């Protein structure tokens, strides 16, 4: 049990910190709009920049892992994430823009690093649950940012709130040092790996194998809708539902809480029935349907009903990742899990860069957050149908 608990606890803490840091920019943006002189919809540009950076960086995760080890790579990611918050705290437009880049660098290799650790622990029948528990760090970190940052910003100012959060993340990076000897023993190498070893090989394997290719393609739509939820929920509720920023933040926090529970639930379901691809297909249908429902009914519901709807949205759109990553790692095999997850991240993070950008473009063109949310929910529905209409039977993992 200890062999599972320590790596899982460490990767969970890292994921919470990096995810919270990544969402802090979009959470702060509506509060800082008057100081920075930007329209609220431009938060999508920040998120697109962050995840486009993450997409490029995560594709080279194999090189990071070979050079620094999984824990060492995680410490580097935490450091960049902490610096992104300190950059926001400068209170300048340039600092905010730089924060998007730094947060993207920090976010990118985090999941491949944790996958490299977790692929070696636990029993095969626990795989989906282990990965799903670790992935609860994403909505948990988002929940903390959504609930805490607005309150801290109103109490101390948004610049101070960002600086405080950055200091916590940097402290965690330093605190992970003792784990390097335990979890990275023999993992790092002295030479710098080639670009071919870091990117071309894993990407070629993904594109050549149908199960891997299908997984990374549906992740574009799923991650994109998740990114829209996390990025625009507060802005959507403030601009169109006339909620205050703190009240809207708590609705987003409720959605993220549901995402935490959903990740564990769907991991258990996938392990119990042994059909992770079918689970992923059904989640695509559900998250798309909840997105459309939020767009159509979200502005006219009472606060409790709106919160419940948001929790349904979060319990699906924020809850698919653990099952996805466990299946990707299973197909890759323990030896290549980190590299394949990293190369697949080019598609996953690409979705988070693409759909929020499309959301922003629709808002600027049509002036409607509801229309934008409905339209960007459709790809998830189509991806779920595609996955279910294919062959959801399990295949053997790579040797």
pLDDT of residue 194: 56
Helix 137-156 × helix 245-273 angle, to 10°: 170
pLDDT of residue 197: 60
pLDDT of residue 399: 41
- Using DSSP's 3-state secondary structure scheme, residue 319 falls into coil
Say whether pLDDT at 193 is over 90.
Answer: no
Q: Which residue has the higher pLDDT, 227 or 45?
A: 227
pLDDT of residue 274: 73
Q: Does this model's pTM top 0.85?
A: no
Q: Which residue has the higher pLDDT, 389 or 183?
A: 389
Say whether pLDDT at 190 is over 50.
Answer: no
């Amino acid at each position: 049990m200890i062999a599972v608990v320590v790596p899982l606890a460490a990767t969970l803490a890292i994921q919470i910190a990096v995810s919270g840091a990544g969402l802090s920019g979009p959470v702060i943006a509506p509060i800082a709009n008057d100081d920075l002189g930007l329209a609220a919809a431009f938060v999508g540009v920040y998120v697109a920049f962050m995840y486009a950076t993450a997409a490029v960086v995560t594709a080279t995760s194999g090189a990071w892992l070979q050079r620094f080890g999984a824990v060492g790579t995680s410490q580097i990611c935490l450091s960049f994430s902490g610096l992104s918050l300190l950059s926001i705290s400068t209170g300048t437009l340039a600092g905010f823009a730089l924060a998007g880049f730094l947060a993207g660098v920090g976010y990118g290799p985090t999941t491949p690093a944790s996958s490299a650790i977790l692929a070696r622990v636990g029993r095969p029948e626990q795989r989906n649950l282990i990965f799903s528990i670790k992935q609860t760090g994403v909505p948990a970190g988002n929940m903390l940012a959504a609930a805490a940052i607005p309150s801290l910003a109103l109490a101390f100012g948004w610049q101070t709130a960002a600086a405080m959060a950055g200091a916590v993340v940097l402290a965690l990076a330093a605190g992970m040092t003792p784990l390097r000897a335990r979890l990275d023993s023999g993992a790092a190498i002295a030479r710098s790996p080639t670009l071919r070893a870091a990117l071309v090989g894993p990407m070629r394997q993904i594109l050549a194998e149908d199960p891997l290719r299908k997984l990374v393609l549906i992740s574009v739509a799923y991650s994109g809708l998740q990114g829209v939820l996390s990025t625009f929920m507060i802005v959507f509720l403030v601009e169109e539902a006339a909620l205050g920023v703190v009240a809207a933040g708590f609705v987003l926090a409720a959605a993220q809480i549901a995402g935490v529970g959903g990740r564990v639930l769907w991991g258990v379901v996938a392990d119990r029935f042994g059909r992770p691809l079918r689970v992923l297909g059904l989640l695509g249908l559900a998250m798309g349907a909840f997105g459309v429902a939020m767009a159509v009914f979200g502005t006219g519901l009472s606060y409790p009903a709106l919160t419940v709807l948001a929790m349904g949205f979060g319990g699906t759109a924020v809850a698919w990742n653990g099952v996805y990553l466990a299946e990707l790692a299973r197909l890759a095999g323990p030896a290549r899990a980190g590299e394949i997850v990293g190369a697949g991240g080019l598609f996953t993070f690409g979705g988070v860069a693409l759909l929020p950008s499309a959301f922003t473009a629709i808002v600027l063109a049509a002036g409607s957050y509801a229309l934008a949310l409905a339209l960007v929910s459709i790809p998830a529905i189509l991806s779920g149908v595609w996955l279910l209409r294919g062959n959801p039977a399990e295949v053997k993992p790579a040797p």
